A and B are shown apart, each in its own frame.
Chain A
């Protein structure tokens, strides 16, 4: 009978793998469990969790027993973009399958609701495990998306078990392309855009099935280490925009394209501080050149890099404060970009 974790239990004495009572665990997982480095450092009896409701109590070295799999918790993912200060996401442990040796990322149920501010506007945002599970079902086998599946734990929590995506974040990948922006623009950008088009087609697939990505950002595309293809990750956000349900995805795609074309984002102060641009370029900036929603970044990249063709720049300007026309659908945006890439 396995030892079941519902609350932390301390056992007396000094701890190490020699003190673990292995009789609590099924025989079939013992070889990998006993050999794992986590068992050398753990200071308590590992627990087996079949109910993951209290995810904040699940610690390193504990075991998740879901879908008839024994998944050892070997770490936690962290919020990717905002640097070292971010806390580990306790509802997203990294796991090691104690029967097969497979590594996965596990997403436990964490419902939260909050508002995000975009300039003067506010949008309500929801973390939705159910939506992510539906997306995983839809995109099974589609290489443009992170793969995985969902299962219910003993308390009917919708646990998602995800494959590790082999690659690096798009923004970090782009940093290493080209000697400078001109080199990047001439020698790398077309191929990056071609792959981004495939990513956009993936989003169109979601929308045509009534689903959203929900959190489109430059660090939610990974570049496959093996073939360079782009892979979407993290689908558990949802928004409540009844009349424009896909607007946040469109907005996110516009921001990603901006980053791809510029290879970074430019805020006015950064332009002023950058010796390549400085006061001269800064003085040319107008409100209309800024982002339509947040007005925090420059979308009119032609003012920074005059060699960017009008056709490509005009696509970016659809997301600027000065636009008179916005894209209604990702398909419209995709088709214009596809035609533009042919002309690059």
Chain B
């Protein structure tokens, strides 16, 4: 598996997401040539957003501000494990015209990340049908990369 040492961690504000970061920190600490990208993808605004007078740039700014908190927490976990900040990048983006998992997969392909890690919420079948599951989508589509699903 090429580029196995390029890690993409899909994060959000959940505790399971932090568990995924801790897991990667534990596994990667000590690797000389690892690179880790902390990625947060957020959805497009709801259908009534613009009718209510919403502005896209304001929405994006708010989402990015919120992401700063858990990205910083994730960064701290990685650095506390001894991983140099120079090996860590961050990216926040909106899933425009696609689902969050599609966006994560697109970034995985673009960035040639060999390992993608994410937390697993543990949803019911009904919840998965209706709201989807990023971790299940990653597991299902992990053909050219390794998926670490952290429960």
Contacts and interface: CB of A to CB of B under 8 A. Distances in A.
Interface of A: 111, 113, 118-121, 123-124, 126, 128, 131, 210, 238-245, 247-248, 250-251, 292-293, 321, 323-324, 326
A238 B47 contact: yes
Interface in B103-146: 125-134, 137
B99 A242 contact: yes
B97 interface: yes
B33 interface: no
Given A118-B130, A124-B46, A292-B126, A242 B97 contact: no
Per DSSP, chain A at the interface is loop
Interface residues of B, number: 22
B100 interface: yes
B51 interface: yes
A204 B84 CA distance: 48
Contacts of A120: 126
A118 B48 CA distance: 21
B125 A247 contact: no
A118 B124 CA distance: 13
A131 B47 CA distance: 9
Of listed B48, B127, B128, B137, residue having the most chain A CB within 10 A: B48
B68 interface: no
B46 A243 contact: no
**3 nearest CB pairs, A to B:** A243-B132, A242-B43, A244-B132
Contact of A119 (B43, B99, B126): B126
Contacts of B130: 118, 121, 123, 241, 244, 247-248, 251, 293
A118 B127 CA distance: 10
Interface in B80-106: 95, 97, 99-101
B79 interface: no
Contacts of B126: 118-121, 292-293, 321
Nearest to B134: A243
B44 interface: yes
Interface in B6-54: 43-44, 46-48, 51
A321 B129 CA distance: 11
A329 B101 CA distance: 15
Given A241-B132, A243-B134, 14 more contacts: A111-B51, A118-B130, A121-B126, A126-B48, A243-B99, A244-B129, A244-B131, A247-B129, A247-B131, A251-B129, A292-B125, A324-B125, A326-B128, A326-B129
